């Protein structure tokens, strides 16, 4: 039996993937490992939790939206964000998360570009 999945907007999934990719890069954990449905090693779990927290604070998403975008339940998103918030008491983690938040916001604030080559590139805001 396949797990129930809440329908999520494509844009939310893309943004969740961006947060996962940044976390994967920062923590040296493959995205594929962070996305596994079975139990993952602690480092991968915490990298995924960091990505959920990153989405929560960078996009201003409520926990339920974070959970849906990551394909998880609200309790898991809440646990992830609570853990990450506690970890921000560590100076090294706090500095890293500040940098990741800025990077994620910077990428998401960039103009959208239409890649239709027959019409030339068009920038949309």
Full-model pTM: 0.84
| Residue pLDDT, tens place only, 92-104 | 999 999 999 999 9
Give the per-residue pLDDT at 37. 79
Give the per-residue pLDDT at 5. 63
Give the per-residue pLDDT at 1. 45
Residues of the chain with pLDDT under 50: 1
CATH level 3 topology of 10-124: Chromosomal Replication Initiator Protein Dnaa; Chain: A; (1.10.1750)
Give the per-residue pLDDT at 6. 66
Give the per-residue pLDDT at 81. 97
Can you tell me the distance from the alpha carbon of 97 to that of 72, in angstroms, rounded to the nearest whole number?
22
Give the per-residue pLDDT at 112. 82
Q: Is 123 helix (H, G, I), strand (E, B) or coil?
A: strand
Domain ranges of the chain: 10-124
Number of CB atoms found within 10 A of residue 94's CB? 12
């Amino acid at each position: 039996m396949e797990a129930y999945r809440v329908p999520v907007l494509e844009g939310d999934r893309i943004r969740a993937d961006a947060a996962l990719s940044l976390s994967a890069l920062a923590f040296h954990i493959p995205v594929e490992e962070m996305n596994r449905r079975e139990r993952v090693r602690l480092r991968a779990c915490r990298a995924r939790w960091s990505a959920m927290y990153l989405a929560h604070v960078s996009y201003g998403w409520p926990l339920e939206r974070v959970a849906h975008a990551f394909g998880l339940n609200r309790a898991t998103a809440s646990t992830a964000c609570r853990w990450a918030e506690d970890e921000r008491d560590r100076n090294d983690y706090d500095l890293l998360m500040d940098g990741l938040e800025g990077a994620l916001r910077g990428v998401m604030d960039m103009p959208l570009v239409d890649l239709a080559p027959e019409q030339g590139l068009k920038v949309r805001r």
